[in-house]
Structure 1
Amino acid sequence: MLVRMMYASRALPGLEEDALMNILRHARVANPQQGITGALCCSNGIFLQVLEGGRMAVNALYNRIANDKRHTGVVILSYSEIRERRFAGWAMGQVNMARMNPGLLLKYSETATLDPYAVSGEAMALLFDEVVATAAIMGQS
């Protein structure tokens, strides 16, 4: 059974770009072995990630992520059974937030700042879908 999970978290102060790149490199190697696909947004210290795959694999990965000391405030925004993947070709894509139109954020939230803690999980899922569709995806492999 396939599931899709979206979660948000806050990076600890001082998390460097190199650390983020290491996280992505590791995901791009490990995720295919577990049948996991997805995409990650990181903006102003906020992580927003979608994971897709088998229920047990996604749950196990989420538990590891939730216990990672590089971030806090980990919260599940949505979790659902799915018929097909949206990110089937991406072991872990990274959304290039610099290419995103700030007006897109205003469509779903009060401000033009990515803040998944201030909007519903449904609104974040819709925003994420549009961000992925309109912003450049880096490292789609």
Structure 2
Amino acid sequence: MKPETSDAHILMSMTYASRANPNVSAKDFNEILKQAQVNNAANGITGMLTFNKDYFLQTIEGPRAQINRLLYSLIADERHYDLQVIETRELTHRVWSEWSMNYATPTEKNAAIYLKYSTTIDFNPYLLSAQSANDLMDELSSKHN
């Protein structure tokens, strides 16, 4: 068996938070999202992303080797910084199997969801527990569709 595919059966999930560089615009976010959707589909990665003007919060899932490769790419991406992994875990099945990258941004319609999981008046994913981050993403996803 080839080393790069030896863990293809091990499905992982990783959730991380990062800070957006101040010059990241809505147009940049749309480019990030489109790039993620194309790259993730090609690499067997699915997930959920939320972004406000200051922070990214993302859960990605897929084969362990692909998640590790993506993590290195994310760390090197200059559109954000201070990447902190909130949780990694093995999965028995995908949560986000329908989306190469689902997404949600704060709106008036979902503001209460962000507030429900925030420990402060402003959304700060660095202050979320792994469970709160998962619950937030699940609830945003159900409201988004």
Question: Normalising TM by the smaller chain, what interval?
Answer: 0.7 to 0.9
* Paired residues, number: 136
1:89 pairs with 2:98: yes
Cross-structure match for 2:39: 30
1:119 maps to a residue whose letter is L
Q: 1:49 aligns with which of 51, 58, 78?
A: 58
> Offset of 1:122 from its aligned partner?
2.2
Measured on the aligned residues, the alpha-carbon RMSD in Å equals 1.6
In the TM superposition, what are the counterparts of 1:66-81 in structure 2 within 5 Å? 66-81=75-90
> Offset of 1:10 from its aligned partner?
0.5
Q: 2:18 aligns with which of 4, 9, 14?
A: 9
TM-score, normalisation: structure 1: 0.87
Cross-structure match for 1:119: 128
Query: Percent same amino acid among aligned pairs?
Result: 33
- Larger Rg belongs to: 2
Unpaired stretches in structure 1, ≥5 consecutive residues: none
1:75 maps to a residue whose letter is Q
Change (3 A) 1:96 1:117: closer
Unpaired stretches in structure 2, ≥5 consecutive residues: 1-9
Question: Residue by residue, what CA displacement relative to the aligned partner does 1:23-76 show, whole Å, maximum 9, x if unpaired?
Answer: 111111111111001111001310001101000001110110011111111000
